Amino acid sequence: MMSFLPVTRALLLAFPLAAITLWAGSPVPANVRVVPVSHIVAPTTSYAFITSKYVFSVHWQFFNAGTSTVALQRSGKDLHVIATADSAGMPDKLFRVHDHYDAEVNPHTFCTGQVNKHNQEGPHERDISVLLDYPRAKSEVNVTDLKTSETKHSEFDIPPCVTDVVSGFFYVASLPLQPGFSEIFPVNDNGKTSNVEMKVEGREKVKGPTGEYETVRTKVSAVDGPMHGKGTLWVWFTDDSRRIPVQMKSKLGFATLVFQLQSVGSERSN
């Protein structure tokens, strides 16, 4: 599937870990492996959400595969993370993609509340809505096949707070990305949750269409759940307070997609 989704399935990354002890106040025996806790850490009161839009070119081997955009917008008290993917060139002739993704995020907790997607991929065209009902600890998924008018409803268990496969893109950028830093966090995709581990592998200079940057290279992959074993994502963020994602690489089996930043701009807020 030639779209931003394979990348974003591993795209969103991590947050602070806590260790699990056997009982309160007791030391962990030397022969017991400490298991990291997967959870979302709310942004500090001083953290500023900067509305922005990133436009990426997508390449598969030597081919131009298309264009992908990711944007953060304000709408009243909520945040919206908007993403699009459009195929081009030879891949467009083989398997046309036109996807639109809209996630509603609580700016006080960074928990995703709802996701709406329109997927037009090859012969398939679907609308998908995912409601994260935290009081019930359930995700509610409704899928409509726009070619056949068939509908499907399903529900899945969710933890107290999750991010999604695109909003995690901004969540990771808010973390203290220093070499050696690693975190695990829950990511929801189509109602199902996986725990994803992000590691900061080191600093690296990257040159692309928009210039040359000092970056921190992060590696992301799922450690369990439906996304486990489905691929690995690397994201290069600028090594400054802006945390601009200037390059991404997604390895999915035999295929590798490379995303390069073409432009960055401000998004209008409602």
pLDDT tens, the chain, 270 aa long: 333 334 333 333 222 222 212 222 333 344 443 446 898 988 888 888 888 999 999 998 778 889 999 999 988 888 999 999 998 887 787 888 899 999 999 999 999 999 999 999 899 999 999 999 999 999 999 999 999 999 999 999 999 999 999 999 889 988 889 999 999 999 999 999 999 999 999 999 999 999 999 999 999 999 999 888 888 999 999 999 889 999 999 987 667 889 999 999 875 544
Q: Is the pTM of this model over 0.85?
A: no
Task: Look at residue 27 in the predicted model and tell me its pLDDT.
Answer: 38
Dig out the tokens for 104 from the structure.
Answer: 């509603």
**Burial profile 107-144: b = 16 or more Cβ within 10 angstroms, e = fewer:** eeebbbbbbbbbbbbeeeebebebbbebeeeebbbebb
Residue ranges per domain, the chain? 4-265
Task: Look at residue 229 in the predicted model and tell me its pLDDT.
Answer: 84
226 three-state secondary structure: coil
Q: Which residue has the tokens 């969710």?
A: 158
**Helix, strand counts (H, E) of the chain:** 3, 15
Task: Look at residue 111 in the predicted model and tell me its pLDDT.
Answer: 96
178 three-state secondary structure: coil
Task: Look at residue 118 in the predicted model and tell me its pLDDT.
Answer: 97
Among residues 218, 169, 142, 229, which one has the least CA distance to residue 194?
229
**Burial profile 199-231: b = 16 or more Cβ within 10 angstroms, e = fewer:** bbeeeeebebeeeebebbbbbbbbeebebeebb
Sign of CA dihedral 165, 11, 46, 162: positive
